[in-house]
Amino acid sequence: MKLVFAGTPEVAVPALDALLASGRHEVAAVVTRPDAPAGRGRRLVASPVAERAAEAGIEILKPERPRDEAFLARLREIAPDCCPVVAYGALLPRVALDIPAHGWVNLHFSLLPAWRGAAPVQHAVMSGDQVTGASTFQIEEGLDSGPVYGVVTEDVRPTDTSGDLLTRLAFAGAGLLAATMDGIEDGSLKAVPQPADGITHAPKIQVEDAHVDFAAPALRVDRVVRGCTPAPGAWTLFRGERLKLIQVALVPDRAEPAPGELVVGKNNVYVGTGSHAVELLWVQPQGKKPMKAADWARGVRIAPGERVGA
């Protein structure tokens, strides 16, 4: 088939690579979000998908909005058979959905209908799911509600951050998306409607959602830290300034100290929760680089009974 691939961030690049390597389909163009300011200088930078497409010599389309008439006209000229999508980052209007003969097929990083929305992997980790996966489905105007072509499953490991898990899903999902294109092309795959039961939603994680409540059980603290790593980053307050929590470890045999209270050992820093302690392993003070929690504690000279949190 002739394909137009839509995607923007680094997590979409493995799927684009899989389609380019398949040898069965032609990737005629990519659609990606416009260049965005990045870094201290805030200079405009192309998306990872745009950079990969440029390396491969593929036409790059960067509409401000997918309903822009110039973009729609060019898409009609290319006349793709299908448009595979991975984390494009903009809602597609009906007029765009109708252009390819086989529509737009999205690779979504959950086992639909679970975790429809912008942050499925983060919510899976924060909710303590033991198994998640990726799904390919036909895009409709509803939010991630279209019929499903195929799925691949992935175990959630006890120490997985959302970044760890998303990296594995990006590569597993890339193979699934390529196989889905093959199945659509030869007619062996038919999309199946999603069940009405088991629908959950995964809205974008806001900064306030990443604020760690040490009155919660240790398991919840651990899940929030892992689910919000690397973005937006779990955090608490220490001496009135934000302290980013990069990695913690459960310490179930240590009932003390009280929620939010810090206890510093020779090479360890513990903080109490609503159940048992967690050990702070890596933190990032405001305006500084990530560091081992023990090094941070030595530098700030934590007083007995001092706390993190509100």
**CA 103 – CA 82 distance, rounded (Å):** 5
**CA 110 – CA 211 distance, rounded (Å):** 24
Q: Please name the amino acid found at residue 216.
A: A
Closest-CA residue to 238 (of 212, 277, 200): 212
Give Cα separations from 61 to 12, 64, 101, 222, 231 (angstroms). Answer: 16, 10, 19, 41, 27
Contacting residues for 85 by C-beta, under 8 A, at least 6 apart = 5, 6, 7, 92, 104, 105, 106, 107, 139
Q: What values do phi and psi take at 59, rounded to 5?
A: -60, 140
| Residue 20 assigned to a binding site | no
**CA 6 – CA 209 distance, rounded (Å):** 29
| Residue 48 assigned to a binding site | no
Q: 220: how many CB neighbours lie within 10 A of its CB?
A: 18
| Residue 75 assigned to a binding site | no
What is the dihedral sign for C-alpha 166, 169, 173, 175? positive
Which conformational region is residue 133 in: left (phi greater than 0), alpha (psi within -120 to 50 degrees), or beta?
left
Beta strand 43-45 with 131-138: parallel, antiparallel or unpaired? unpaired
| Residue 112 assigned to a binding site | yes
Residue stretches of the annotated binding site for (6S)-5,6,7,8-tetrahydrofolate: 110-113
Residue stretches of the annotated binding site: 110-113
